[in-house]
Amino acid sequence: MPTLRATIVPVLLGLILLPARGEENWAQWRGPNFNGSSAAKDLPDKLSKEDALWSTPIPGHSNGTPIVFGDRIFITSYTPRLICYSLSRKDGKILWEKEISDVSYIKQGKNDSATPSPVTDGKKVIFLFGTGDLVAFDMDGAQLWRRNLQKDLGEWSYQWLYGASPLLYKGTLYVQVLHRNVPPGQWRDAKPGEKGNDSYLLAVNPETGADVWKVVRPTEAKVESQEAYSTPIPWERPAGTQLLITGGDCVTAHDPQTGKELWRAGEWNPQRLMDRRLVASPVTWDGMVFVCPPKRVLMLAFGEGGKPITDWKNDGLTSDAAVPLVYQDNLYVLDGDKARLTCVDPKTGKPKWDGTLEGRPPFRTSPTGADGKIYVMNEAGDLLVCSANEFKILSKVSLGGGGGSRGSIAAVDGMIIVRTGDKVWAFASKK
């Protein structure tokens, strides 16, 4: 029979090794709640380069968001090789790097093939690239499986390259491909008798990489308006979760088990204008779905079954790229072209406060909310800390990065992780 000491000591050691209560990982690009918010505590509000916990130069560039789980950080980069990295959360040391592909055509405009953010469940990490490469590693960098979606399911046709992140939700990996249905390179109309591949939503077994199901996602949109760079978002409702997808001039809801389309709504482009590509993913709050149509069309609000909420006030709310943040029962909308941040009552759409951010636009990061603060960054690498309760800028630091800073900020207990164009930075609160 074990002694009392033999029983107590292992229990105490186990308690010591447990993460602090309230600690949350940032395992997907919009965080643990799929809306840019986190319950992380003890986050910094005064930032300077000199006070950075660490910074690690990264060869190449990526528009993706750092993913954090436990003591590991995962990012991507192109150099022009496409590379996966794992960094130590403690000191920023590169723990491993894996070359995925060596391609020449991986950048178009401000987008690149390393734009999708990784996802992880703490046992494996999965990377998706704009080349169609989909690969899984264990946390120590051993490859588990690998495939190329374009080779398996047909070529993609994007004028501005692929840019959606995968979603890992309750044991299934979801990938959306919303592109124009003309052969690659034929940006207007296909030649007579020719047609490109359909847009689709794909479910993958994250343990093996095998397809679970694939459903076609039809649209009446034309040419570039068929393209979307948004990411599937789960809408967790009492009646059951639905997967939300925006793009192709509408928002659709799907059954996570089968991919079956449950409803569609929006039709914000009745004229069928051909240049309305969509960037921002949907966001949800208390039975409501918020969608940001492209090219400065006003935000829309929907209820159950995609029913438009017609009495939802919208006095100029718009965002072409940044996904709105839901935090502390507020909706924060960042108009990145005008550097304007607005706090909105999500129930009514009525603004509570707004203000113009310091730093030259555009702001392409989606805002992050945690510990009473909001973190945003412009393309030049100016990182701002704002109050979540009023329009007040608490701090600003210019991190640089060559004008390529577009990934959102990851927040975990005691630390924020920031990817600029050329480095990964960690900032911690001062004790």
Cβ contact 99:106 at 8 Å: no
The 10s digit of each residue's pLDDT in 51-86 is: 999 999 999 889 999 999 999 999 999 888 899 999
Indicate the pairing of strand 351-356 with strand 368-370.
unpaired
Residue 120 confidence class, pLDDT cut points 50, 70, 90: very high
Beta strands in 52-152 (DSSP E): 54-57, 67-69, 72-78, 81-88, 94-102, 107-108, 111-112, 119-120, 124-128, 133-138, 143-148
Whether the predicted pLDDT of 39 surpasses 80: yes
Distances in whole angstroms, Cα of residue 230 to Cα of each of 136, 138, 179, 397: 22, 26, 11, 29
Q: In which residue are the tokens 């995925």 written?
A: 100
Cβ contact 255:201 at 8 Å: no
Whether the predicted pLDDT of 222 surpasses 60: yes
| Rounded mean pLDDT, 331-359 | 96
- The second-level CATH assignment, the architecture, of 42-63+313-431 is 7 Propeller (2.130)
Return the domain boundaries, the chain.
42-63+313-431
Residue 161 confidence class, pLDDT cut points 50, 70, 90: confident
List of residues 6+ apart from 338 with CB closer than 8 A: 356, 361
Q: Residue 248, Cα to own-chain centre: how many angstroms? A: 19
Three-class SS of residue 290?
strand
Q: Is 352 left (phi over 0), alpha (psi -120 to 50) or beta?
A: alpha
pTM: 0.92
Q: Which residues pair with 127 in a beta bridge?
A: 135
List of residues 6+ apart from 62 with CB closer than 8 A: 75, 76, 77, 78, 112, 114, 115, 407, 419
List of residues 6+ apart from 154 with CB closer than 8 A: 197
The 10s digit of each residue's pLDDT in 293-305 is: 999 999 999 999 9
